[in-house]
Structure 1
């Protein structure tokens, strides 16, 4: 309990809603209500209970549920959507019911049997932007379930959700796929010039320096992600190229990136040399390149400094070509 008797806890929240319920009731009111009740009694409620969740409240054609585990919430959502999809394939169109589901993990305020707060609001907003039959999850949920077997995801990038102050990175769970992988939704990235930061090439000859190279890549991804105009491809996607010879045009096709940042690091005694190149992914041409030499007195301070240096230079280097590109398109 916190001050003034307000109880808080960390929960996984599942928000679900029936697609086009108002239209369905306007056409076949009693039959639609019967189908909705059957959905709850025969599918939704038993699956929620089986997954150790609880239904907080029913809101007409929607439901809000709470779980103590993000993995349980996501697997329950997948189970519901897959069973419902199979049922819909066996009935006439007028008897089909489709759900949108959103899952978030966050701090909630507990009041009686109800829960409130930002974590609940994000789950509801994720559900509202989902397509029929989809399960959308937040970055917070993705971090909890990314290593789970038999799950794969599509990175939708950062989304502006209604009445949520900061953008939320959103992933779509790929139903029926068991690859434990992350893909990128190219349709989202086509509207914004995305950048992929490839893993640093460790040229020190010292395998123990791999952690430094990987940490530097992660720091640069984090620094660049603060620039909202340009989506940054998720680490889990760009790191699939670690240790491979890469054609940046293939990266563009795979990840939907307009720009690719390649880097390498060398070590000589107590000094480091970091080389970075920003490439136009369509042509493979250089947009910018630089070399940074630093002492390795404090390896973490060096990581932070190099990441910030590269990020501060890369951002304007991306902005100007993109500005010229858009001006050219506008004049055509």
Structure 2
């Protein structure tokens, strides 16, 4: 009996290690590499052309933001270290701090823009991709103050973002992936099960963010919709980011369920239904939440995402022997 128990624990550990390695090698590391590459390309484009109305920097910006959406559910370890996620992606901005912080920098012509170390100490509200969206797509910010200074600010934000993304990727490759591959007493993770639980929690965090923030914030209530609370509405990327995040979450979910073909099929079908629902919405900024017909379509997408959340909690969690636990969005 004891031998059988030890064998079952050994086999469960081997299965957990295989799943963990698949997630790290096929999902986590490549996506952080892509984020680093896209933010570096954005920084290079800003150096070459910092015109706020130019197509090239706007295109590079879109690529970088989608790359962030694809890792935004991995809110632990290298992403959270040194406040990196907030500095790269300060959203939601419930108090409208970003335009205020940017306006102050522009009008004061703060010289932190000329020193990367000094700029790293600037308020997170004036750093990262969401600050850059204001500079590229908000007419009021894009025309404030001196054009030469705005150009320097765009370049400083883009370079800072590339550094942050590079630090995340390097931390994953040089430290955190190995830490997750070697759980044990005294480590950050005590067992393979704790590593799998971390990834399961990340999946739940991503789905919660999609349902409650990316969709729930603009939906508001029927009597008081909030279209201007949609993520990246100024750049017209609100729906694109939902699609990008769902595709990435789908990948993680199927990797977590890799040892159960039936469960994989169930989860794939639910994700595909959500993505199909999203594809039928012709409303890039989710402005349709303010009209009855548009709202119905967006609510339907939210319902599809919540159905995935339910299946993940009810079917995937027990299969893995883990629970979601507390995540960084709880209590927001």
TM-score normalized by the length of structure 1: 0.27
Specify the structure having the higher radius of gyration (Cα): 1
Q: Which has the higher contact order (CA 8 A, sep 6+)?
A: 2
Give the structure with the larger strand fraction. Answer: 1
TM-score normalized by the length of structure 2: 0.27
